[in-house]
Amino acid sequence: MNPELLTLYRKFNTAMAADDVAALEPLLAPDFTLTHMTGYVQPRAEWLQEIAQGTMHYFSSIEEHVAITAVATGWQITGENKVTASIHGGGRHEWPLHTVLQVQQVAGQWQIMRSVVTTY
């Protein structure tokens, strides 16, 4: 397993669980999108703004499984985490999230291009 990419995945989840927009920003490509389990494709700026405003408030992310594979456009990191969050005022809930990150190296730095989240 690629240790740099595993570290990237863990930094992403740690920053998300801490609602740390400043830590998330350098990890995400400028055109990053997050496809939520509802199917909504959210642009980077909108997601970060919702975290900063507390509309999407994350409490924790507990890693259960991670796999890293090479793909034609870079790397894919697939992880399963138990994530506790309050989304759009819906109360605090825990979801078993299956996250697929598309990752590329941009100007010598690993960046997350896209995240697709479903449940498992």
User: pLDDT tens across 7-63, in order?
Assistant: 999 999 999 999 999 999 999 999 999 999 999 999 999 999 999 999 999 999 999
Task: Check residue 39 and give its pLDDT.
Answer: 95
Report the chain's C-alpha Rg in angstroms: 13
Task: Check residue 22 and give its pLDDT.
Answer: 98
Look up the pTM and report it: 0.94
10 Å CB burial of residue 34 (0-12, 13-18, 19+) is: buried
Helices and strands: H and E segment counts in the chain: 3, 6
Task: Check residue 96 and give its pLDDT.
Answer: 98
The predicted-structure confidence for 54-95, as pLDDT tens digits, reads as follows 999 999 999 999 999 999 989 999 999 999 999 998 899 999
Task: Check residue 86 and give its pLDDT.
Answer: 96
Distance CA 85, CA 77 (A): 22
In this structure, the strands spanning 56-71 and 41-43 are unpaired
Task: Check residue 112 and give its pLDDT.
Answer: 98
Distance CA 107, CA 67 (A): 24
Report the run of H or E that residue 96 belongs to, with start and end. Answer: strand 92-106
